[in-house]
Amino acid sequence: MARLFMKGTEAVAEAAVRAGCRFFAGYPITPQNEVPEYLSRRMPEVGGVFIQGESEVASISMVYGAASAGTRSMTSSSSPGIALKSEGISYCASALIPMVYSNFARGGPGVGSIQPAQQDYFQATKASGNGGFQMMVFAPSSVQEAVDLTYEAFDLADRDRNPVCILADGVIATMMESVEFPPMKSNVEIDAIKESKREWALVGHDFEKEKRAWIEPGHWQTKDMQKANEDAAAMYLEWEKDIRVEEYGLEDAEIVLTSYGISARVVKSAVSILRAEGIKAGYIRPITVNPFPYGAYDHINYDKCKAVLNVEMSIPAQFGVDVKVGVKDRCPIEHCLCSGGNIISRNAVLDAAKKIMKG
């Protein structure tokens, strides 16, 4: 199809519709407001339902209910809004309810600033709710990638019967880029997806026979929560096959820059400049930040690499914690950081890399 010039938030919303999402509930918060605004118009056009809840808590509860009935469902928010939705997300994980949500992160902690940041990394990958559950978390670095990952996220959520997170930021939310959309799922395909969930979804079960009017967030197949946790842990291990990462120039790199999301775009351009100036730089960009591609850091030639430079829009470093695990003390790790709504600059990255090389 023809390429379209679209804002990140609106492109993510359209990708969800094309993936068969037919229920969205959310609550306004900058910088993701265009997601619900777009879907308030788009959902009725495809026979879907849009609801602006009275709060974030109400909205995620509605998503829990709609997804329990087998409908592909989504919510979206930014940072403190996601924090309010964390209990409902944990309910979905506990009850094995597939759903997708996007977090266009802002500065923090607390209400923070409305400008872009990458300070929700721990929230998304380590503690997105109580009970220690995990999710697949994708970190796009472009609007096109956000579209592609959102579209796929619904398939993965259904496959695992588990929430999936699209972790973006205010830059990707508000910038406009040329994108090409995947095909729109037909009504026949959407009906088949819902029918495939009949065994567990609330689609007209005999209540008197099954004594079940809702899917309770205590793992309804069994009251043995340890068994439920063991099953979840086994599923998390299977996600290793779904890891995605971009690598460049690691074999001869004297310095390796690593980053994710919007910061990785800055890093990629900085690496090109460093190479042009005779500095052998490489980079590692995780696309899945959970599960994390620790193995990519084994591809660094530590006989040549003087240091790994972690670049992220968070102070203190959060992504850097996983980088440290991947590097395993095989070389020093330095950091180039900003936060609170400040966007990492290419000059700052170049200065940090050159300082390391001079040292």
Average pLDDT of each block of 10 consecutive residues along the chain (359 residues)?
90 98 97 97 98 97 95 97 96 94 95 93 93 96 98 98 97 96 97 92 64 61 78 96 97 97 97 97 98 98 98 98 98 96 96 95
191 torsion bin: left (phi>0), alpha (psi -120 to 50), beta (else)? alpha
Radius of gyration of the chain (CA): 21
Cβ-contact 310, 320 below 8 angstroms: yes
pLDDT given for residue 85 in this prediction: 97
pLDDT given for residue 228 in this prediction: 86
What Å distances lie between residue 112 and 31, 105, 162, 191, 331, CA to CA? 12, 10, 29, 42, 34
Beta carbons within 8 Å of 188's beta carbon, 6+ residues apart: none
pLDDT given for residue 212 in this prediction: 55
Measure the CA–CA gap between 98 and 161, rounded to whole angstroms: 4
pLDDT given for residue 225 in this prediction: 83
pLDDT given for residue 35 in this prediction: 97
The strand pairing partners of 26, in sequence order, are: 52
What domains are there in the chain, each with its CATH number? 4-241 (3.40.50.970), 245-358 (3.40.50.920)
Environment class of 359 (CB within 10 Å of its CB; exposed 0-12, middle 13-18, buried 19+): exposed
Other CB atoms closer than 10 Å to residue 19's CB: what's the count?
A: 25
Measure the CA–CA gap between 271 and 256, rounded to whole angstroms: 9
pLDDT given for residue 206 in this prediction: 56
Crossing angle of helices 143-160 and 8-18, rounded to 10°: 40
